[in-house]
């Protein structure tokens, strides 16, 4: 059986349905928390989660990616709503952003995602894992001042990720701590091999047991001194009937189409959401046990359509998000059906049983996310990256530290800067090869083999090497493998020819075999790379 046939939708519903339930349970507080941090109606986060699951999930080419509102856009959304003056005007900007995003997909802009090195992508996964773990510790102790889904170091409550760990000791909630401990015991037990060999426990996932048990404990604690306060549980908006549910959907203000500000905000949303989506897409592909590669341009088009629809019905901007995607993978999801089903479950529960959802303790979800965070940042990953050498390990660590101590996009930018530095440094060091590795001695023939690509980045190193050549030496410059020699390098060679005559250096050149070598139109290859007469 071919892999495509084996992993086709509906053939893996036994794996995808339980995974979709776990993703749904994790998605609910994330959607609400991000909406709260964005200064938007809470239900707008639920709408974005529904659209991200059903619409983007169906149109996407990613088998395991899950889309919804993203923490990385919360600050942009909060500022935009304040600047535009009304949430309805902001929704118009989301629609515009979706159109821009769709155009990016049509223009094949998805290729940008392939330019992020593996060390940065793995650093992003590990950094997200660590930040998830750190952010959930206060929730596990019953200190819920920071919103669920926060990924930034600086928090809206005035604290930061590290200081929050100290403040939480001032307000420990015994019931939340009890739920966390029991939940972690169950989750660790479910991970054991002997449990996985039991068919019943393959069907019933540990996270689902944890949530059900949390609801039961919360129920029996009501009316006692152990009762959890509203801050410690999920808080989805409750509608009394269908009319009340539909009234929670908001429509954009189309009269603002002539407002230039919405196009600026829309473009900002499109660029940031696209970048975050492409990064998450690349990371999800790396986590995929089957190593499937999702089409990036199709993903941009799917996200664009999702944002257009989300904006039209009152939802926040959507991206593919790593927390939900990694939860999907670690919960056993195999196809896009899990993402789609999680959207339908979110829609059904938000309408039919919001009161039941509002009994889920955040401590139960914290325990689930502890496991997600640990699996993303396993110690073995650090050992593997260290073994690859400093050119991989340093960008990996910089990305992690950047994400933990700033935010997702800033951390990735820092990791990319360091990774590019190593590329440039290696390029600077290896533009050519000396055949004689024993050192340069007067009278010895020196053979310099130029690389295939010799750019202006190699200029300083080549200049330095040529300056070290002693008088009366014989120099053979082998450019036979070169397909591109930058004009700056050609000028250095031309200048060295003049110096060679003064230093009595025998300078010989082996010209490129390929006649299609790119050189400056103002210089002749024969004049620049000609042998000494």
* pLDDT given at position 3: 55
* pLDDT given at position 403: 93
C-alpha 111/C-alpha 94 separation (Å) is 23
Which residues is 433 bridged to in the sheet? 449
Cβ(278)–Cβ(124) below 8 Å: no
> Each residue of 285-324: pLDDT tens digit?
989 998 888 999 999 999 999 999 999 999 999 999 999 9
C-alpha 336/C-alpha 328 separation (Å) is 10
Report whether pLDDT(346) > 90.
yes
* pLDDT given at position 87: 96
Per-residue b/e over 339-349, b at no fewer than 16 CB within 10 Å? Answer: bbbbbebbbeb
Average the pLDDT over 176-203 and give the result. 88
C-alpha 191/C-alpha 371 separation (Å) is 10
* pLDDT given at position 329: 94
> Each residue of 273-290: pLDDT tens digit?
999 999 999 999 989 998
For residues 508 and 300, the model is more confident at 300
Report whether pLDDT(531) > 60.
no
* pLDDT given at position 517: 43
Q: What is the dihedral of CA 39, 269, 283, 139, to 10 degrees?
A: -10
Report whether pLDDT(233) > 60.
yes
Residue 327 has which token pair? 């939860």
Average the pLDDT over 32-48 and give the result. 94
For residues 478 and 456, the model is more confident at 478
Q: Which of 110-114, 290-294, 382-386, 481-485 has the highest mean pLDDT?
A: 382-386
Could you count the other beta carbons within 10 Å of the beta carbon of residue 395? 27
Q: What single DSSP character describes residue 531?
A: P
> Each residue of 78-90: pLDDT tens digit?
999 999 999 999 9
3-class SS string, 16-59: HHHHHHHHHHHHHHHHHHHHHHCCCCHHHHHHHHHHHHHHHHHH
- Nearest-CA neighbor of 368 among 327, 398, 329, 328? 327
- Nearest-CA neighbor of 143 among 129, 122, 161? 161
For residues 522 and 374, the model is more confident at 374
C-alpha 286/C-alpha 125 separation (Å) is 10
What distance lies between CA 386 and its chain's CA centroid?
A: 21
User: What residues have CB less than 8 Å from 240, skipping those under 6 apart?
Assistant: none
> Each residue of 324-340: pLDDT tens digit?
999 999 999 999 999 99
CATH classification number, 432-528, choose in 3.40.50.300, 1.10.3720.10, 3.90.480.10, 3.30.750.24:
3.30.750.24
Domain residue ranges of the chain, discontinuous segments joined by +? 18-379, 432-528
Report whether pLDDT(230) > 50.
yes
- Nearest-CA neighbor of 89 among 286, 216, 251, 231? 251
Cβ(110)–Cβ(316) below 8 Å: no
* pLDDT given at position 201: 76
Split at pLDDT 50, 70, 90, the class of 39 is very high
Tell me the CA distances in angstroms from 209 to 22, 186, 215, one per residue in order. Answer: 10, 8, 10
Report whether pLDDT(221) > 50.
yes
For residues 202 and 260, the model is more confident at 260
> Each residue of 405-459: pLDDT tens digit?
988 889 999 999 999 898 777 766 655 555 444 455 555 678 888 877 777 777 7
Lowest average pLDDT, out of 67-71, 150-154, 247-251, 425-429, goes to 425-429
Average the pLDDT over 162-174 and give the result. 90
For residues 479 and 312, the model is more confident at 312
Split at pLDDT 50, 70, 90, the class of 31 is very high
* pLDDT given at position 514: 54
Average the pLDDT over 87-100 and give the result. 97
For residues 180 and 519, the model is more confident at 180
Length of the chain: 533
Tell me the CA distances in angstroms from 290 to 23, 303, 326, one per residue in order. Answer: 20, 23, 14
Residue 532 has which token pair? 């000494």
C-alpha 163/C-alpha 159 separation (Å) is 6
Average the pLDDT over 101-105 and give the result. 97
Average the pLDDT over 237-248 and give the result. 88
Lowest average pLDDT, out of 149-158, 303-312, 357-366, goes to 149-158
| Mean pLDDT, rounded, of the chain | 87
Lowest average pLDDT, out of 7-11, 101-105, 273-277, goes to 7-11
């Amino acid at each position: 059986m071919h892999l495509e046939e084996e992993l086709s939708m509906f053939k893996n519903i036994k794996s995808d349905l339980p995974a979709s339930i776990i993703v749904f349970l994790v998605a609910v507080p994330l959607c609400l928390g991000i909406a709260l941090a964005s200064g938007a109606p809470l239900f707008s986060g639920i709408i974005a989660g529904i659209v991200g699951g059903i619409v983007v999930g169906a149109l996407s080419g990613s088998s395991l990616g899950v889309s919804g509102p993203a923490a990385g856009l919360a600050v942009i959304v909060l500022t935009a709503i304040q600047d535009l003056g009304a949430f309805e005007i902001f929704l118009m900007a989301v629609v515009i952003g979706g159109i821009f995003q769709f155009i990016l997909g049509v223009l094949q802009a998805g290729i940008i995602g392939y330019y992020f090195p593996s060390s940065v992508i793995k650093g992003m996964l590990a950094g997200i894992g660590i930040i998830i773990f750190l952010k959930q510790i206060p929730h596990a102790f019953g200190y819920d001042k920071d919103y669920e889904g926060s990924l930034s170091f600086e928090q809206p409550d005035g604290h930061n990720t590290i200081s929050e760990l100290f403040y939480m000791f001032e307000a420990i909630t015994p019931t939340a701590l009890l739920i966390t401990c029991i939940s972690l015991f169950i989750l660790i037990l479910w991970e054991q091999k002997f449990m996985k060999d039991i068919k019943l426990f393959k069907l019933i996932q540990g996270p689902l047991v944890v949530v059900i048990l949390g609801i039961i404990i919360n129920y029996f604690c009501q009316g006692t001194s152990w009762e959890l306060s509203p801050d410690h549980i999920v808080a989805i908006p409750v509608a009394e009937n269908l009319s009340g549910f539909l009234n929670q959907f908001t429509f954009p203000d189309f009269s603002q189409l002539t407002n230039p500000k919405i196009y600026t905000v829309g473009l900002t949303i499109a660029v940031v959401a696209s970048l975050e989506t492409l990064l998450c897409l690349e990371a999800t592909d790396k986590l995929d046990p089957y190593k499937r590669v999702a089409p990036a341009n199709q993903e941009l088009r799917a996200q664009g359509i999702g944002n257009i629809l989300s904006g039209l019905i009152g939802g926040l901007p959507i991206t593919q998000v790593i927390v939900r995607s990694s939860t999907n993978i670690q919960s056993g999801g195999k196809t896009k059906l899990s993402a789609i089903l999680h959207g339908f479950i979110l829609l059904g529960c938000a309408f039919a049983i919001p009161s039941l959802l509002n009994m889920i303790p955040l401590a139960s979800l914290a325990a689930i996310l502890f496991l997600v965070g640990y699996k993303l940042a396993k110690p073995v990953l650090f050992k593997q990256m260290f073994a690859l050498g400093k050119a991989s390990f340093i960008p990996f660590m910089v990305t992690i530290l950047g994400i933990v101590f700033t935010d997702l996009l800033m951390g990735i930018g820092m990791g990319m800067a360091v990774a590019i530095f190593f590329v440039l440094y290696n390029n600077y060091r290896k533009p050519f090869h000396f055949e004689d590795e024993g050192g340069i001695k007067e009278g010895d023939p020196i053979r310099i083999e130029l690389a295939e690509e010799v750019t202006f980045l190699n200029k300083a190193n080549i200049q330095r090497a040529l300056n070290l050549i002693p008088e009366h030496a014989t120099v053979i410059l082998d450019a036979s493998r070169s397909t591109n020699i930058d004009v700056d390098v050609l000028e250095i060679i031309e200048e060295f020819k003049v110096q060679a005559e003064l230093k009595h250096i025998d300078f010989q050149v082996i010209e490129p075999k390929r006649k299609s070598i790119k050189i400056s139109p103002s210089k002749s290859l024969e004049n620049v790379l000609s042998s000494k007469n």
